[in-house]
């Protein structure tokens, strides 16, 4: 039997919003997620926190316990919040749903001492493009001299006039962040002055270390989510499930499995499903739906327990035959009482929508998921670099063959985002004079390429 599930306990009209945490490296994304999860575990009754694959569900009653007076459960129709476990905008771009980002809302973490950094800007760019509503967590306020969390904290003095009494360096840092957001075209303010969080970005001072401000952050998230989900989401929580592949993984005893975030409907242990594959859509039948077992229960058999059904939003591992060609970032759809052909068609259409436009001449692009491939293509189109071939997967010898046929030496190049270079491909590239760049940050990858072009041009002069 499965644990009581936060997502199925209390059927409401709105599904759990999916929340992503973005921001520059070391600004505190992981710490903030840990703090929220940790507080939830401390506040939670045993079993209230559902174990998920790739995401943590925090039910409404736990949020309200953490947030105290700031969140009255009676004010909300949402079952809670589902936090994507892997922070960073890589996972954000990877995780797509129909035509947009998988996450419904985002938290952008900015270190108050460090301010805006390249990945902050990159994250903002992604949020802007995907039209994802977000709030800013101005993190590490505990490190600001003069900050006294116990007295007159503007954070605790929510929504009242007192709250304007932020003083000294913190004040300055917060206004710098607000100014930077406005430079990027966002209208932002300290959260207690914001009326409509969809129109204005709220800046919430927090400490992922002490937990201060976390109740406020959750309260603002809930307010924003409720409004957004009501306005934007037409969801049939009982219908055939729709989700996205997070990761394709070998799992002992189960073969190839897909970690999936379900963002709509339900998936059952006997469902027929259609999944985006490297070549054609994969049509297969669910063999098992797997959730991680609570740590205490892990014995010799399996880290997972089987469940019969989950409903959106949830992270779940799907075991099924024929998953070897499944692509991270690709759609997953339950067929159930629909025509198989129609569902296959939808998966094809969704894949075609993500597909990258290629030209006769250009560079070769490889990425680990469909979403990141698309993000790469967007970034390259901004610098007007054409793509001749784009594909999910590690850099392989045939990619080198394609790159070696470029007429322009500046395009005898492979750009790999979050992928490895197979050793055959490495050897081949040396022989064929193809340059391979790999990186885990898009703008760095492009910078490396631009330096290479500069050098080539200097050499030609
Ligand atoms: P990420 O790369 O954005 O996930 O950042 P981490 O969560 O790994 O945090 C980077 C470093 O900052 C770690 O050493 C954390 O302990 C520290 N850190 C994160 N949040 C806070 C905070 O609110 N206060 C203080 N003092 N340190 C923090």
DSSP per-residue letters across 390-447: EEESSB-HHHHHHHHT-SSGGGSEEEEES--B-HHHHHHHHHHT-EEEEESSHHHHHH
Please list the pLDDT of the chain residue by residue as tens digits (461 residues).
Answer: 334 444 443 344 678 899 999 999 899 999 999 899 887 776 655 455 566 788 888 889 889 988 888 899 899 888 899 998 877 776 676 666 766 678 899 999 999 999 999 889 988 988 888 889 999 999 998 887 655 544 444 443 333 334 444 445 677 888 899 999 999 999 999 888 888 888 899 999 999 999 988 999 999 999 999 888 776 666 667 889 999 998 888 998 899 999 999 998 999 999 999 999 988 899 999 999 999 876 655 555 678 889 999 999 999 999 999 999 998 889 999 999 999 999 999 999 888 877 788 899 999 999 988 878 888 898 899 899 999 999 888 999 999 999 999 999 999 999 999 899 999 999 999 999 999 999 988 888 999 999 999 999 998 88
CB-ligand 1 contact for 114 (6 Å cutoff): no
CB-ligand 1 contact for 30 (6 Å cutoff): yes
Sign of CA dihedral 120, 121, 124, 130: negative
Q: Which two structure tokens, joined as six digits, stand for 1?
A: 């039997």
| Res 328: pLDDT | 84
CA 206 to ligand 1: nearest atom: 23
CA distance 48 to 39: 12
Q: Which two structure tokens, joined as six digits, stand for 182?
A: 């406005």
329: enclosing H helix or E strand: none
Model ipTM value: 0.99
CA 143 to ligand 1: nearest atom: 26
Left if phi > 0, otherwise alpha if psi is -120 to 50, otherwise beta: which for 202?
beta
Q: Please tell me the distance between residue 213's alpha carbon and the centre of ligand 1 in angstroms.
A: 15
CB-ligand 1 contact for 89 (6 Å cutoff): no
| Res 163: pLDDT | 44
> Rounded to the nearest 10 degrees, what angle do helices 214-232 and 60-67 cross at?
140
Annotated binding site: 23-30, 85-89, 139-142
Please choose from 23, 28, 205 the residue to mutate so as to test ligand 1's pocket, defined by most ligand atoms within 8 A of CB.
28
Q: Please tell me the distance between residue 443's alpha carbon and the centre of ligand 1 in angstroms.
A: 23
Helix, strand or coil, per DSSP, at residue 96: strand
CA distance 347 to 245: 12
Q: Please tell me the distance between residue 140's alpha carbon and the centre of ligand 1 in angstroms.
A: 7
Q: Which residue has the tokens 């050793």?
A: 423
CB-ligand 1 contact for 35 (6 Å cutoff): no
CB-ligand 1 contact for 26 (6 Å cutoff): yes
| Res 352: pLDDT | 80
Q: Which residue has the tokens 């406005």?
A: 182
Q: How far is CA 60 from CA 46, 165, 210, 276, 323, in A?
A: 15, 31, 22, 33, 35
Among protein residues, the one whose CA lies closest to atom 2 of ligand 1: 26
Annotated binding site for GTP: 23-30, 85-89, 139-142
CA 330 to chain CA mean position, Å? 14
Closest CA to 368 of 397, 398, 392: 392
CB-ligand 1 contact for 208 (6 Å cutoff): yes
| Res 295: pLDDT | 60
Closest CA to 331 of 268, 270, 381, 281: 281
| Res 221: pLDDT | 94
Contact (Cβ atoms closer than 8 angstroms) between residue 234 and residue 98: no
Please choose from 91, 208, 211 the residue to mutate so as to test ligand 1's pocket, defined by most ligand atoms within 8 A of CB.
208
């Amino acid at each position: 039997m499965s644990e009581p599930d936060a997502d199925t306990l209390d059927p409401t009209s709105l599904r759990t919003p999916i929340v992503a945490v973005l921001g520059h490296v070391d600004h505190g994304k992981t710490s903030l997620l840990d703090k929220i999860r940790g507080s939830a575990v401390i506040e939670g009754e045993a079993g209230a926190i559902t174990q998920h694959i790739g995401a943590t569900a925090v039910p409404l009653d736990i949020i309200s316990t953490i947030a105290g007076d700031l969140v009255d459960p009676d004010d909300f129709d949402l079952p809670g919040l589902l936090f994507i476990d892997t922070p960073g905008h890589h996972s954000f771009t990877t995780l797509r749903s129909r035509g947009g980002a998988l996450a419904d809302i985002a938290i952008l973490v900015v270190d108050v001492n460090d301010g805006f950094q390249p990945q902050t800007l990159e994250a903002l760019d992604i949020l802007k493009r995907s039209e994802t509503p977000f709030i800013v967590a101005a993190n590490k306020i505990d490190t600001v001299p003069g900050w006294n969390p116990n007295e007159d904290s503007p954070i605790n003095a929510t929504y009242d006039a007192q709250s304007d009494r932020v003083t000294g360096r913190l004040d300055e840092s917060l206004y710098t962040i607000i100014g930077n957001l406005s430079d990027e075209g966002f209208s932002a303010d300290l959260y207690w002055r914001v009326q409509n969080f969809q129109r204005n970005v709220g800046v919430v001072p927090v400490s992922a270390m002490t937990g201060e401000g976390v109740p406020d952050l959750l309260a603002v998230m809930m307010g924003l989510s409720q409004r957004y989900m009501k306005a934007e989401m037409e969801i049939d929580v009982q219908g055939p499930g729709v989700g996205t592949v997070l990761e394709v993984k070998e799992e002992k005893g189960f073969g190839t499995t897909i970690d999936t975030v379900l963002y709509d409907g339900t998936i059952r242990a006997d469902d027929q499903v259609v999944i985006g594959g490297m070549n054609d859509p994969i049509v297969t039948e669910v063999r098992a739906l797997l959730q991680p077992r609570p740590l205490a229960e892990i014995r010799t058999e399996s880290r997972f327990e089987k469940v019969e059904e989950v409903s959106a939003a949830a992270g779940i591992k799907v075991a099924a035959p024929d998953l070897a060609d499944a692509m991270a970032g690709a759609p997953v759809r339950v067929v159930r009482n629909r025509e198989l052909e129609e569902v296959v068609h939808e998966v094809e259409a969704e894949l075609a929508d993500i597909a990258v436009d290629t030209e006769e001449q250009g560079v070769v692009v490889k990425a680990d998921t469909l979403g990141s491939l698309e993000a790469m293509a967007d970034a390259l189109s901004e610098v007007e670099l054409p793509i001749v071939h784009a594909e999910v997967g590690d850099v392989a010898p045939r990619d080198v063959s394609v790159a070696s046929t470029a007429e322009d030496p500046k395009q005898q190049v492979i750009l790999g985002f979050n992928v490895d270079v197979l050793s055959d491909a490495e050897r081949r590239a040396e022989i064929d004079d193809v340059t391979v760049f790999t990186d885990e940050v898009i703008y760095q990858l492009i910078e490396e390429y631009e330096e290479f072009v500069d050098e080539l041009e200097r050499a030609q002069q």
